[in-house]
Each structure stands twice: as C-alpha cells, then as structure tokens.
C-alpha cells in the first residue's frame, strides 16, 4: 500500500507542475488586453494633437515631435498586443496535448506495472541473488522430508493387478531370504519402481550399489539418484546430489547425472549454471537420449537467464543417416542415391528454417548445397547465417569456411564419388560407388582391412605430399572412427603445419578434428 501512496503523490506533484505551467501561460495572456488598451489611448492622443493645432494651443513643430513619440509608443503597444494574441492561442493546443499525453503516460505506466511489476518486492542486485540462491540450496529438505511432502501431494494410486502383486510379494520374500543376490535386488528395484513404490525402489537400488562396491558403475549410481529424485517428487535433495556426484566421479560424462545436476541448479535459482551444464550435455548427447527433449524444451529460457540473448540450441549427435542408411546407399542406382542425398539436404534445410541450429548445422547446409551444385541457395543461406552469427567470430569462421567449399556441378558424376550426406561436416569426398558395392559384399574382416588400407594410404600420402583441406579432414575423422586416436592427433598436427598459411582451410580441418575429439 505504501508504494501506491508514494506513486499517487508523485503523480499529483507532476500534475501540479503542469497546472502551474499552464497557469503562468494564462497570466502572460493578460498582457494582450492591456496592450490593446494602450494602442487605443495613443490613437486618441494623436486626434487630440490635431485639435490642439487647429485651436492654436500647440505649434505645428511641437505637434510633429509629439506625434513621432506617440507613434513609436503605439507601435510598441501594438507589437505587444499581437504577441499576447499569439500566446493566448498557444496554451489551448498545448493544454490538449499535455492532457492527452499525461493520460497516456500515467495510464500506460500503471498498466505496465500491473502487468510486470511486483508490489513490495525489493531490488535484488546480482550479489544478493547469489546469496538467496545459496540460502535456497542450503535449506533444501532432506530426502525423508521431501518424500513425506511428495506423498502428501500424491493422488491415490490405482490398484495393481492381483497376480502381479502376488509375484512382487514373492520377489520381496526371495530378496529378504537372499539379500546378497545382485540379480534379485536389480529386479526388485525395477519392479518396485514400475508399481510406483519409488521409496522401496531406491532403497533396493542402494543395497545393490553397496553390494557391488567398487564394481558399481556410474549408471548404477545415476539410476539410484534418479529413483531418489522421483521419490522426492522431483526435488533433488542433498542425498541425491551426492549420489550423482559419485556417478560423475566414475564417469564425468554420464548424461543422466549431468542432466539432474543441471536441473538441481535450475531448482536453486542458478539458471546460469544450469545452462552451461545442459548446453554441454546437449552437444554430446545422442538424439535418442531421454533427457534431450526436456533440455531442448527449457534451454532457451535458461540461456536468457545466463545472458545468451541470441542462443541457438545445438542439435544432438545422431541426427542424420544411420550406418544402415549408408550401407543401403551402396545398392542404389546413381539416380536413387542422388534423390536420397537431396532429401537429406532438404531435411536439414527445413529443420534449420523451423527450429534453428548451431553454426555447425548451418555450415553443413551451406557446404552441402554447394556440393550438389545449388550455389545460389547456398549463397542465400550464407547471407542468413552471417546475420545470425555476426556477433560470434568463431562461429562466423565456420560459416565462412563452408561458403568457400568447392561447388559441384550436380550431386555426382556418373560413377563418381557421391556427395557426402548433409550430416557430415565438412563435406568430404568418399569412396566411389564401386568401392561401396564391393565393401557391401565383403565379410566384416575383409571390409575392415579394405577401409584400413584406404585410410593408411591416404595418411601416408598426406604426411609426405600434402593434400586438400577436405582430405586432411577426412583422414582425421577416419582414424578417430577406427579408434586410432594417436594417429588422428598426429594427422592434425601435420595438417596444422601444412595449412599454416591458409587460415580458412585450417579452420575447415579444425572443425573435423574437434568433432573427432583430437582438437580443442
């Protein structure tokens, strides 16, 4: 209420100032009648002078001098009368404008405050917000307290099937008789969760983790933490947090644990930290990972809280053709293969137009369009991408490198190398159609030997004779895929030396090296 009293007082003061300004304007308007009266007096004096001359009271010379002085005063009075007339008209228009403008300003201010204001909410500097977040973090309820609150809010659960309930009771009895059976504990935890008994589920999982000891995996800890979170009604307690920390000690890249740690940061008013964690997780997740939809649904809001006003969520890995798709392409005719590749490019184009994407995605689309010969479309996409990433020099370098990729005349020449799928970045030459058909008919061992031979040959040629940026990128990606990380790092080092004088080409190779995990 105090706020509204202060606001009303301020409005009244400002309105009073406006009224005083208008009142002063009206006082100035009083000059107009006085000046008009003076003009009339001076006219009467001129007529009196003429009469005095006729009666001989005043000489003609004195009358002329008096007329000059009276005329001068009459002109000055007339000027004031005209000025007063102008002033008398101006405040009327000004008054209307001020009344309308004041109503709009004050009405708009109160409307806006009613929409987004918070009455009685004190100012919160950044340091105070961090302090409040720490208090919120420290005051979290325990696992037991959180479960009690969750049960109080929980609706009545539907009755389970009597046969399933009987089987569950048998399972519980069997585990009670043999508490050190890991298989029994695993089944018990899974089925208790299926029945909605999450408290019993996480306790069974906890006994399983304790039974495994040092052999317990990061996934075992992550599943335990998830069951604890569900039992607590979605709240991540300090006990669950310690469980996820144990999982991340065993595997710092455990996706489920990273997701819940990020969620914990968001729950405790640290959306900036949650964004950093989820952004990194999204970049390293497969599209099929269960946490990906939830992250993509909320990460834009977290990005805004973290100060990333123009953030575009990256696409998870695994978006693109599968190995089965690539193998099937070997049996296609050139026309069918062209249609498949064009479809991939169009899918990527549609996704970027509707959902946006990272700089890598835009670079893939640009290089893909150039590779299939659609240079005009590539140029148009390049112009749009430059506008999106103008404030990010590193991302803009990727876009520029893709725009400088060689342009093809068509998707492929008859019998030539097919254009790389839109999922690959940067676009690199691949095996010929004949090589793909031969590889499809080989045994796995022979196919592996053939691929290894091609990669070794390319590696030897590049390290001795050099080659194009696409070839360097191809050999680095291939070696990393084959598990030869040290040789991939060696190839990246050789590429840095060979392409040191060409920053654009080096950026293209660096992108492939980063994707292969051999460059920062």
* Model pLDDT for residues 162-209, shown as the tens digit of each residue: 787 888 888 889 989 988 888 999 999 988 888 888 899 999 999 999
Domain count, the chain: 4
| pLDDT given for residue 415 in this prediction | 38
**Residue 462 domain-assigned?**
yes
pTM of this prediction exceeds 0.85: no
pLDDT in tens, 220-278: 999 999 999 999 999 999 999 999 999 999 999 999 999 999 999 999 988 889 999 99
Percent of the chain residues topping a pLDDT of 90:
15
**Residue 121 domain-assigned?**
no
**Residue 410 domain-assigned?**
no
* 396 and 363 within one domain: yes
Domain with 89, as residue range(s), is 2-116
Say which CATH number the domain at 243 has.
Answer: 1.25.40.10
CA atoms within 13 A on the CB side of 98: 15
* 95 and 57 within one domain: yes
* 297 and 183 within one domain: yes
Cα 366 to Cα 377: distance, rounded to the nearest angstrom:
8
**Residue 331 domain-assigned?**
yes
For residue 385, give the nearest of 369, 372, 371 by alpha carbon: 369
pLDDT in tens, 173-186: 998 998 888 899 99
* 172 and 300 within one domain: yes
* 301 and 184 within one domain: yes
**Residue 429 domain-assigned?**
no
| pLDDT given for residue 425 in this prediction | 35
Asked which of 94, 116, 138 is the last residue of a domain, the reply is: 116
Helix (H, G, I), strand (E, B) or coil at 286: strand
Across residues 79-84, what is the average pLDDT?
68
| pLDDT given for residue 417 in this prediction | 39
| pLDDT given for residue 337 in this prediction | 63
- Confidence band for 412, pLDDT divided at 50, 70 and 90: very low
| pLDDT given for residue 408 in this prediction | 58
* 484 and 449 within one domain: yes
Cα 199 to Cα 206: distance, rounded to the nearest angstrom:
11
**Residue 423 domain-assigned?**
no
pLDDT in tens, 17-50: 766 766 665 554 444 456 666 777 778 887 887 7
**Sign of the torsion formed by the C-alpha atoms of 242, 243, 249 and 253:** negative
pLDDT of 422 > 60? The answer is no
pLDDT of 332 > 50? The answer is yes
Cα 222 to Cα 290: distance, rounded to the nearest angstrom:
14
* 277 and 174 within one domain: yes
Beta bridge partners of 286: 317
* 396 and 455 within one domain: no
What's the token pair of residue 369? Answer: 């369009």
* 268 and 392 within one domain: no
**Residue 42 domain-assigned?**
yes
- Confidence band for 423, pLDDT divided at 50, 70 and 90: very low
* 395 and 283 within one domain: no
* 208 and 112 within one domain: no
* 391 and 489 within one domain: no
Cα 421 to Cα 417: distance, rounded to the nearest angstrom:
12
DSSP letter assigned to residue 252? T
| pLDDT given for residue 513 in this prediction | 84
**Residue 144 domain-assigned?**
no
What average pLDDT is seen over the chain? 77
């Amino acid at each position: 209420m105090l706020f509204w009293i202060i606001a009303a007082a301020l409005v009244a003061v400002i309105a009073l100032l406006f009224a005083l300004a208008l009142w002063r304007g009206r006082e100035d308007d009083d000059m107009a009648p006085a000046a008009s009266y003076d003009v009339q007096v001076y006219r009467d004096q001129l007529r009196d002078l003429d009469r005095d001359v006729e009666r001989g009271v005043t000489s003609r010379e004195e009358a002329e001098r008096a007329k000059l002085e009276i005329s001068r005063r009459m002109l000055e009075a007339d000027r004031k009368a005209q000025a007063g007339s102008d002033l008398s008209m101006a405040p009327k228009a000004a008054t209307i404008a001020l009344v309308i403008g004041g109503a709009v300003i004050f009405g708009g201010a109160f409307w806006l405050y009613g929409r987004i204001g918070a009455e009685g909410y004190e100012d919160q500097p950044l340091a105070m917000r961090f302090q409040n977040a720490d208090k919120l973090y420290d005051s979290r309820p325990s696992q037991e307290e959180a479960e009690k609150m969750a049960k109080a809010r929980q609706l009545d659960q539907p009755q389970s099937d009597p046969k399933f309930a009987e089987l569950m009771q048998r399972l519980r009895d069997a585990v009670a008789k043999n508490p050190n059976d890991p298989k029994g504990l695993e089944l018990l935890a899974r089925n208790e969760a299926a029945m909605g008994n999450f408290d019993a589920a996480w306790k069974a999982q906890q006994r399983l983790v304790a039974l495994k000891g040092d052999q317990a995996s990061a996934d075992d800890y992550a599943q335990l933490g998830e069951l604890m979170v569900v039992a607590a009604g979605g709240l991540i307690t300090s006990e669950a947090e310690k469980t996820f920390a144990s999982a991340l000690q065993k595997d710092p890249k455990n996706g489920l644990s990273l997701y819940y740690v990020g969620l914990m940061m968001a729950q405790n008013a640290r959306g900036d930290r949650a964004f950093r964690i989820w952004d990194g997780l999204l970049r390293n997740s497969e599209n099929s990972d269960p946490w990906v939809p939830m992250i993509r649904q909320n990460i834009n809001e977290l990005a805004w809280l973290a100060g990333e006003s123009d953030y575009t969520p990256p696409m998870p890995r695994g978006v693109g053709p599968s190995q089965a798709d690539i193998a099937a392409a070997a049996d296609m005719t050139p026309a069918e293969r062209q249609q498949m590749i064009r479809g991939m490019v169009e899918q990527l184009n549609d996704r970027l137009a509707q959902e946006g994407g990272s700089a890598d995605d835009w670079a893939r689309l640009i290089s893909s369009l150039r590779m299939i010969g659609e240079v005009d479309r590539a140029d148009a996409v390049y112009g749009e991408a430059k506008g999106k990433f103008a404030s990010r020099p590193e991302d803009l370098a990727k876009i520029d490198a893709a725009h400088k990729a060689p342009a093809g005349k068509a998707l492929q020449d008859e019998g030539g190398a097919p254009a790389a799928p839109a999922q690959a970045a940067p676009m690199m030459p691949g095996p010929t159609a004949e090589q793909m058909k031969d590889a499809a008919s080989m045994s796995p061992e022979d196919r592996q030997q053939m691929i290894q031979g091609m990669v070794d040959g390319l590696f030897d040629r590049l390290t001795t004779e050099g080659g194009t940026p696409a070839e360097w990128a191809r050999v680095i990606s291939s070696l990393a895929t084959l598990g030869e990380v040290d040789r991939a790092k060696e190839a990246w080092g050789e590429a840095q030396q060979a392409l040191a004088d060409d920053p654009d080409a080096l950026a293209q190779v660096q992108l492939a090296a980063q994707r292969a995990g051999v460059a920062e």
